[in-house]
Structure 1
Amino acid sequence: MRAHTWLAPALITFLLALTGCAGPSVDQYQGNQPGFAPQEFFQGDLTAHGVLKNRSGDVTRYFNATIKANWKNGIGTLEERFEFDDGEIQYRTWTLTPTSDTTFDATAGDVIGTGTGATAGNALNLKYVLEVDYNDSKLALDVDDWMWRVDQRTVINQSTLSKWGFTVGTIQLVISKTP
Structure 2
Amino acid sequence: MEHCKRAVKLMHDYTSIFINSIRTIVSVIALSFLIAGCSQSLSDYKQTTPAFDLKQYFDGDIKAWGLVTDRNGLVKRRFTATINASWQGDQGVLDESFEFDDGERQHRLWRLTKIGDQYTGSAGDVVGEAAGSVVGFAMNWQYQLMIEVDGEPWTVGVNDWLYQLDDDVVINIGKLTKFGIEVGQITLFMQKQS
Q: TM-score w.r.t. structure 2 length?
A: 0.85
Matched, 1:150 2:165: yes
Match of 1:82 among 74, 98, 104: 98
- Matching of residue 63 in structure 1 with residue 79 in structure 2: yes
1:6–1:133 Cα change, 3 Å:
closer
- Note closer, same or farther for the CA distance 1:133–1:8 as it changes in structure 2 (3 Å cut): closer
Give the aligned residue type for 1:45.
Answer: D
- Greater per-residue helix proportion: 2
Structure 1 CA distance, aligned partners of 2:19 and 2:71?
37
Partner of 1:31: 47
Give 2:108's aligned residue: 92
Instruction: After TM superposition, give the deviation of residue 160 of structure 1 in Å.
Output: 0.6
Q: CA RMSD in A?
A: 1.7
Superposed displacement of residue 64, structure 1: 0.6
1:15 aligned to 2:29? Answer: yes
Task: Write the distance in 2 (CA, Å) between the matches of 1:155 and 1:97.
Answer: 20
Q: Distance in 2 between matches of 1:28 and 1:38?
A: 19
Give the corresponding residue for 2:60.
44
TM-superposed CA distance for 1:18, in Å, is 1.5
What TM-score results when the alignment is normalised by the length of structure 1? 0.92
Bigger CA radius of gyration = 2
The change in CA–CA distance for 1:25 and 1:59 in structure 2 (over 3 A counts) is same
Range with greater deviation from structure 2 (15-24 or 117-126) = 15-24
Cα distance in 1 between the residues matched to 2:122 and 2:19: 49
Matches of 1:25 and 1:81, distance apart in 2: 30
Between the aligned partners of 1:93 and 1:144, the Cα distance in structure 2 is: 19
Letter in 1 for 2:65: H
Give the aligned residue type for 1:43. Answer: D
Query: Please, which runs of 5 or more residues in structure 2 have no aligned partner?
Result: 1-11
2:189 is the counterpart of 1:178: no
Partner of 2:6: none
Bigger shift: residues 16-25 or 101-110: 16-25
**Distance in 2 between the 1:106 and 1:46 partners?**
19
1:89-114 deviation digits (Å, cap 9, x = unpaired): 10001111123x21111111100000
**Match for residue 175 of structure 2 among 148, 152, 160:** 160
Deviation of 1:6 after TM superposition, in Å, equals 5.3
> 2:35 and 2:184 mapped to 1: Cα distance?
17
Work out the number of aligned pairs and report it: 178
Q: Which of 149, 155, 162 is matched with 1:140 structurally?
A: 155
Structure 1: give runs of 5+ residues left out of the alignment: none
